[in-house]
A = this chain, B = another copy of it.
Amino acid sequence: MTGGLTLAEIASRLGGRVVGDGATRIRQVGSLEKAGAGEIGFFSDPKHRAKLESTRASALIVSADAEGLSALPRIVCDAPYLYFARVSQLFNPLTTQPPGVHPSAVLGANVSLGKGVSVGAGCVLGDGVVIGEGSCLYPRVVIYAGCTLGRRVIVHSGAVIGADGFGLAKDEAGRWLKIPQIGAVRIGDDVEIGANTSIDRGALDDTVIEEGVKLDNQIQIGHNCRIGAHTALAGCTGVAGSTRIGRHCIIGARANILGHLEIADHVQISACTTISYSIHKPGVYTGLYPSEEHAGWLKNTAVVRRLAELLQRVRVLEKEKKNG
């Protein structure tokens, strides 16, 4: 980062058009509020125009329609947020842990680690685990035996990959009989897995996370699920067993997708929405119960359990009307 890059150098690497002093030297990215000398911010949301006027950043990344909103040296581009991400990657590493296996990590038999893999303190890798080139496991990740990770996979602390799925059969006495979970977990290239997220191994076949999938924190993926390539799941989502989610989907925070369902490609599920049926058509699906001040909620929610009756009463009124 020493020396940094000039706006002109950044534009020569990433494209975009420089307006103002192309020799302006940038050493880091920053927010409009906190950025200082040598830092570049970005502007994409007109709501934040006030911040634009007060920022102390040395330069900006803006879209063409916002080009005139600031006199600061700036790079004009089509997608300021994406451009900002690329600039940030110029100045900052994607992972902050050096390659190699920390001495406190525990590796089972026949573990295979690709070139440049980083295994953090206290990680535990079971027998036969395979980790592809350039992957980074932060401290205290557990990967059960037989699971495989692709290249450039990032796994954050507390994640558990390959624990037994919840496979139970009820016996004649109403006791639960455990079904051995003999599948594994297969994770593709460029997947990121958040802190304290768990992905269960398959009951018979494998649980599969395809390339480019991004999982936030505190997520639960049940056994035998398949998450399609480049799908992103926000924090606290849950996907129940044997559900298949398509490619390029976006699943909002704390969404739940029940088991044995199929979700098509390019489907977007809103935050805190439960999906209880298969979705065959791209689009946005929502099921968030609205909140309000408690007194109003009490009155309105009391009617929820009477909705069928209410509909019936309206039908009667309509019928009477019709019959004059």
Report A's interface with B, CB cutoff 8 A: 28-31, 33-35, 79, 81-82, 84-86, 88-89, 91-94, 96, 102, 104, 106, 120-122, 124, 126, 138-140, 142, 144-145, 154, 156-158, 160, 163-164, 166-172, 174-180, 182, 190, 192, 194-196, 198, 200, 204-205, 212, 214, 216-218, 220, 222, 230, 232, 234-236, 238, 240, 248, 253-254, 256, 258-259, 269-276, 283-294, 296-308, 310-311, 313-314, 317-318, 320-321
Q: Which residue on chain B has the smallest CB distance to residue A297?
A: B286
29 contacts between A and B (CB under 8 A): A33-B205, A82-B172, A85-B178, A85-B179, A92-B180, A106-B122, A121-B124, A124-B140, A124-B157, A142-B195, A156-B160, A156-B164, A158-B196, A160-B196, A163-B195, A166-B217, A176-B214, A194-B198, A196-B198, A256-B271, A276-B288, A276-B290, A287-B289, A289-B301, A299-B308, A300-B305, A302-B308, A303-B310, A317-B321
Question: A85-B179, A301-B307 known; 14 other A-B pairs, CB under 8 Å?
Answer: A33-B205, A96-B126, A138-B144, A140-B140, A157-B160, A160-B196, A235-B240, A238-B253, A275-B291, A276-B288, A285-B293, A288-B289, A296-B305, A313-B314
Interface-centre pick from A30, A190, A276, A298 (highest chain B CB count, 10 A): A276
Contact with A177, one of B31, B85, B196 (Cβ below 8 angstroms): B85
Q: How far is the CA of A145 from the CA of B121 in the complex (A)?
A: 13
Q: Are A160 and B195 in contact (CB under 8 A)?
A: yes
| With contact pairs A204-B31, A238-B253, A311-B310 given, residues A94 and B217 touching in the complex (Cβ less than 8 Å) | no
Residue numbers in B under 8 Å from A82 (CB-CB): 169-172, 177
Q: Are A288 and B301 in contact (CB under 8 A)?
A: yes
Q: How far is the CA of A306 from the CA of B274 in the complex (A)?
A: 18
Q: Are A174 and B306 in contact (CB under 8 A)?
A: no
Q: Are A166 and B142 in contact (CB under 8 A)?
A: no
Q: Are A205 and B34 in contact (CB under 8 A)?
A: yes
Interface-centre pick from A145, A253, A292, A320 (highest chain B CB count, 10 A): A253
Residue numbers in B under 8 Å from A232 (CB-CB): 168, 176
Q: How far is the CA of A259 from the CA of B309 in the complex (A)?
A: 31
Residue numbers in B under 8 Å from A138 (CB-CB): 142, 144, 163
| With contact pairs A163-B195, A166-B216, A212-B175 given, residues A253 and B256 touching in the complex (Cβ less than 8 Å) | yes
Q: Which residue on chain B has the smallest CB distance to residue A170?
A: B82
Report A138 CB to chain B, min CB distance, Å: 7
Report A306 CB to chain B, min CB distance, Å: 7
Q: Are B303 and A307 in contact (CB under 8 A)?
A: yes
Interface-centre pick from A102, A172, A299 (highest chain B CB count, 10 A): A299
Q: Which residue on chain B has the smallest CB distance to residue A212?
A: B175
Residue numbers in B under 8 Å from A274 (CB-CB): 254, 271-272, 288-289, 291
| With contact pairs A166-B194, A289-B288 given, residues A104 and B106 touching in the complex (Cβ less than 8 Å) | yes
Contact with A297, one of B86, B169, B287 (Cβ below 8 angstroms): B287
Q: How far is the CA of A102 from the CA of B158 in the complex (A)?
A: 19
